[in-house]
Amino acid sequence: MKDILDELEQRRREARLGGGQRRIDAQHARGKLTARERLELLLDEGSFEEFDMFVRHRSTDFGMEADRPYGDGVVTGWGTINGRMVYVYSQDFTVFGGSLSETHAQKICKIMDMAMQNGAPVIGLNDSGGARIQEGVASLAGYADVFQRNIMASGVVPQISVIMGPCAGGAVYSPAMTDFIFMVKDTSYMFVTGPDVVKTVTNEIVTAEQLGGASTHTKKSSVADGAFENDVEALSEIRRLFDFLPLNNREKAPTRPFFDDPHRIEASLDTLIPDNPNQPYDMKELILKIADEGDFYEIQRISRPISSRVSCGSKARPWASSPTSRRFWRAVSTSTARARRHVSCGSAMRSRSRS
């Protein structure tokens, strides 16, 4: 029995190393955390329960049978954020560049199925170069399975994508179907094809940052809802956003203790809005004055939409929003037969409904 336990622990140590210490050091040199380090920061301490740690790919083409790391490039499981359940997956760039294989996709689909069954949000930490070309059509079919889960979860549980590295090719479609997309400045990119392909096809020279960096997707395309300076800031802000969201479409938005008197009078509001309707005023200042303790989480702060989406605390209900997003969160907070969600895809905002 001791030999079996020692072997099990050895496999666990190997699985936790991902692609090996050399690749972990390279990940750190780029200013990025590893997949497991990100989950440690995102989730409550000691709450993470991992699934399928020892899963390996089954490919035997192109010499792949000689390189079969545990986990197959993604860490999946469930945990808690401030005591509330969440299902997570974190792609490991140290293993085949985080590329998606058949078994990699199966691990993601498994936790998404469990999230819908148990009524909990899904958070995906994306760091992937796209499909694993050595597996060909099997890898592409894996993407189709993930996309199907995104559609099934739409309007049922919140889906949050955090782009923390390259997100190229097939990998970029799944985040586009989720409810929130956040990026990390200078280290994350979202595009279907990279700068080299663009140069070959159009003869245009463009950098990865210009093509699909955080600045592009927060200021021009409005695909991303926000951008953060580094991995640590991104994960801490995702924890804060999570506190504003209902767990599923059958629960109301969470409540929390507050110390702001609901009957207080804010005298400055009498002068904030000018008498002249043609004169502008600061809407953010207005929101901060009426929100509980000024708690305000802004979405798409530097983008160029006609209207922005916001979340803030008001009278012990820690969320409020513009009409566009209110339709979604009202839907996921009720048990009505139909729910509506707004999807960012490219530079357009497309809405869809499902029964």
Q: What is the mean pLDDT of residues 108-124?
A: 96
Q: Given this model, what pLDDT does residue 61 score?
A: 81
Ordered by start, the domain boundaries in the chain are: 2-242, 269-354
pTM for this entry: 0.80
**Is 234 or 96 the better-scoring residue by pLDDT?**
234
Amino acid residing at 281: Y
Report the pLDDT value the prediction gives residue 312, as an integer from 0 to 100: 55
Q: pLDDT: is 309 or 244 the higher one?
A: 244
Q: Identify the pLDDT of residue 5.
A: 87
Helix (H/G/I), strand (E/B), else coil: 166: strand
Q: Which is the CATH superfamily of the domain at 2-242?
A: 2-enoyl-CoA Hydratase; Chain A, domain 1 (3.90.226.10)
Indicate the average pLDDT of the chain: 81
DSSP per residue, 291-344: SGGG-EEESSTTS--SS--EEE-BTTB-----HHHHHHHHHHTS--S-EEEEEE
**Residue range 81-106, pLDDT digits in tens:** 999 999 999 999 988 888 889 999 99
Please determine, for residue 79, whether its predicted confidence score (pLDDT) is greater than 90: yes
- Of 307 and 167, the structure prediction assigns the larger pLDDT to 167
* Bigger pLDDT: 4 vs 121: 121
Per DSSP, the three-state class of 113 is helix
Distance between CA 46 and CA 123 in Å, rounded? 18
For the chain, what percent of residues have pLDDT higher than 90? Answer: 36
Percent of the chain with pLDDT over 70: 85
Q: What is the pLDDT of residue 11?
A: 87
At 254 the pLDDT is: 84
Residue 224: other Cβ atoms inside 10 A: 27
Per-residue pLDDT for 256 more than 70? yes
**Cβ–Cβ under 8 Å, residues 260 and 293:** yes
Say which residue, 117 or 62, is predicted with more confidence: 117
